[in-house]
Amino acid sequence: MSKKSKRLPVSVVEVTIIKTNEYNPHYVVILVQPDENIYLPIMIDAVVAYAIDVALKKMATARPLTHDLLKNILTEYNITVKEVIINDFKDSVFYATVVCVDENGEVKEFDSRASDAIAIALRTNAPIYVNKHVLDEAGMVAHVSASTESGTSKQKGRAPAPKTKSITLEDLTADDLKELPDEKLKELLDEAVKKELYEIAALIHEELKRRGKSS
């Protein structure tokens, strides 16, 4: 059973790829909660990534995809997708519920992978919500630090921090991130989110999550 939590509306920003290496790309769908300034990256498989991307871009396909077929069946039987809720996050897995209403007003809830729920919501124009505790545990927020605002960081009684090599966000790799300290990663994450470089932001977020520093 998922935790009770306030839920917040989100929208789908894009589907992107995390290139950890040449032969093992990871696909990520990025959700945003604008009021809280939180971005939520969700790892998905290539098939659903395509299905979500097609829906986002309103692309036509030669034959119905699986989620298109499901939508057509629901429509034929006068079943409406009322909403989709991403309601839990356990062991790095997102859990979702698709809430449907039939022509008699009866409500049914169906357990779903988050990726499938998103693909269905986009096709049925159903709102997507995420429980607050999920955003708290797995979301990424852009923070403005004092050093970012002033351009310098003054720390009394401490030796100057060692200089790090110049980092270009667009050229970052997973191996580069492993060599950087936590604070530098958080700075880069903030910068990536502000510049809407979601692929890079998701890559940094995954490294921080691996270290247990994503909150």
The tokens describing 166, both together, are: 């110049």
Provide the phi-psi class of 212: left if phi over 0, else alpha when psi is between -120 and 50, else beta. Answer: left
- Enter the pTM of the model: 0.72
Report the pLDDT value the prediction gives residue 162, as an integer from 0 to 100.
39
Query: Mind listing the pLDDT tens digit of every residue in the chain (215 residues)?
Result: 445 679 999 999 999 887 655 567 789 999 999 898 899 999 999 999 999 999 999 999 999 999 999 999 999 999 999 999 999 999 889 999 999 999 999 999 999 999 999 999 999 999 999 999 999 999 988 554 443 343 333 333 333 333 444 556 776 777 778 888 888 888 888 888 877 777 788 888 888 888 876 55
Tell me how far apart the alpha carbons of residues 4 and 44 are, in angstroms, rounded to a whole number: 25
Rounded (10°) angle between helices 114-124 and 46-57? 20
Residue 22, pLDDT score: 58
- Between the two ends of the chain, the Cα-to-Cα distance in Å is 23
Contact 197, 142 (CB under 8 A): no
Q: What is the dotted CATH code of the domain comprising 7-138?
A: 3.10.690.10
Which stretches within the chain are classed as H helix?
46-57, 66-76, 114-124, 132-138, 146-150, 174-178, 182-194, 198-211
Q: Are β-strands 140-141 and 80-90 bridged in parallel, bridged antiparallel, or unpaired?
A: unpaired
| 44 vs 102: CA distance, rounded Å | 29
